[in-house]
Chains A and B, each alone.
Chain A
Amino acid sequence: MRLLELAGYLLEGASTAERVGAGRIVGGWEYVYAAYGITYAAIIVYTLSLWLRRRSAQQSEDFR
């Protein structure tokens, strides 16, 4: 049992060392999704704000 655990640690360590050796940052998809989510949300909110302001400007012109 102990031997198996040890083998597991060794394999995991070798794989980690391989990744670190390549200089890679592993994972991080949550940061990627957050960045794209913020971008799309900002575009949607700003487009909506422009549309509402344009409509309000048109209404005030019509009123005038």
Chain B
Amino acid sequence: MNRVRWAIFIVAVAMLGVGAWLALAWAPPDREMGDVQRIMYVHVPQVWMALLAATLNFGCSVAYLFKKSWKTDALAEASAEVGVLFGAVGISLGSIWGRPTWGVWWAWDPRLTTAAILLVAYAGYLALRRFVEDPERRAVWSAVTAIVAYVDVPLIWYSVQWWRSLHQVQSSPKTVDPQMTLVLRWHAFAFLGLLIFFIWSRYQIAMAARKHELAMPAELDEGARIQTSQAAR
């Protein structure tokens, strides 16, 4: 399985390498924004990945509350951390793109504000996981926090449609040059590969930490659920 994980990483990195050439040399400049529009190819996919990671985190949190399992808790932790990484870089890149196009690094526009709230919420989620020592309490509290934080995700997505926003609305392949669509999709798959690799790797670290905390057997199977810790008490 580790070979598959590293193969995904190598393919994703190779795709990013080719993607850099496609984005910086092959794709045409935008009619309005000129060359600065090329930031889109790394900004948009990273924000997509942050939202995807938040959705995975939400799914795992709900699943944990229904059926307590260290696996879903570890996956929730991993997806939150990777989501914060992509979210932070995505927002920073948006800020860099905003400077030459809007004339400011930051504006309290609905899209930017909701995205910043999500980042702060998930940073708080990760801080909560650090502060609570009891693994069960930590898992339950962080699951509830994650569900509350996820309310912001649809707000981010629809903010540009619901409110008069400085940020542009979602583009469609019908309105964008086919070359631009191809480069954007190429990067989206490259970042998806990285997302899978990062979450997978971080999940293994989280599971190793749980084993260490609970002194669980090295091989965790389906039966190794939260009851293990209850029995250990």
Q: Answer yes or no: B228 CB below 8 A from chain A CBs.
A: no
Q: Which of A18-61 contact B (CB under 8 A)?
A: 22-29, 31-32, 34-36, 38-40, 42-43, 46-47, 50, 53-54, 57-58, 60-61
- Min CB–CB distance A31 → chain B (angstroms): 5
Q: Answer yes or no: B154 CB below 8 A from chain A CBs.
A: no
28 sample A-B contacts, Cβ–Cβ < 8 Å, listed by A number:
A22-B31, A24-B33, A25-B33, A25-B36, A25-B101, A27-B34, A28-B36, A31-B97, A31-B100, A32-B38, A32-B39, A34-B96, A35-B43, A35-B96, A36-B20, A36-B42, A39-B93, A40-B16, A42-B85, A43-B13, A43-B16, A46-B198, A50-B205, A57-B204, A57-B205, A60-B208, A60-B212, A64-B212
Neighbouring B residues of A31 by C-beta, 8 Å: 36, 39, 96-97, 99-100
**CB distance A32 to B46 under 8 Å?**
no
Assuming the contacts A24-B31, A61-B212, asked whether A39 and B46 have C-beta atoms less than 8 A apart, the reply is yes
Neighbouring B residues of A27 by C-beta, 8 Å: 34-35
Neighbouring B residues of A50 by C-beta, 8 Å: 198, 201-202, 205
**CB distance B89 to A38 under 8 Å?**
yes
Q: Answer yes or no: B113 CB below 8 A from chain A CBs.
A: no
Neighbouring B residues of A39 by C-beta, 8 Å: 42, 46, 89, 93
Q: How many residues of B contact A (CB 8 A)?
A: 39
**CB distance B85 to A24 under 8 Å?**
no
**CB distance B42 to A28 under 8 Å?**
no
Additional A-B contacts beyond A38-B96, A39-B42, A61-B218 (17; CB < 8 A): A23-B32, A25-B35, A25-B100, A25-B101, A26-B34, A29-B35, A31-B97, A35-B39, A35-B43, A35-B97, A36-B24, A50-B201, A50-B202, A53-B205, A57-B204, A57-B205, A60-B212
* Most B C-beta atoms less than 10 A away, residue of A25, A27, A58, A64: A25
- Min CB–CB distance A53 → chain B (angstroms): 5
By secondary structure, the A interface counts as: helix
Neighbouring B residues of A28 by C-beta, 8 Å: 34-36, 100
Q: Answer yes or no: B120 CB below 8 A from chain A CBs.
A: no
* Most A C-beta atoms less than 10 A away, residue of B23, B34, B99, B101: B34
* Most B C-beta atoms less than 10 A away, residue of A29, A32, A57, A58: A32
Assuming the contacts A46-B198, A50-B205, asked whether A35 and B42 have C-beta atoms less than 8 A apart, the reply is yes
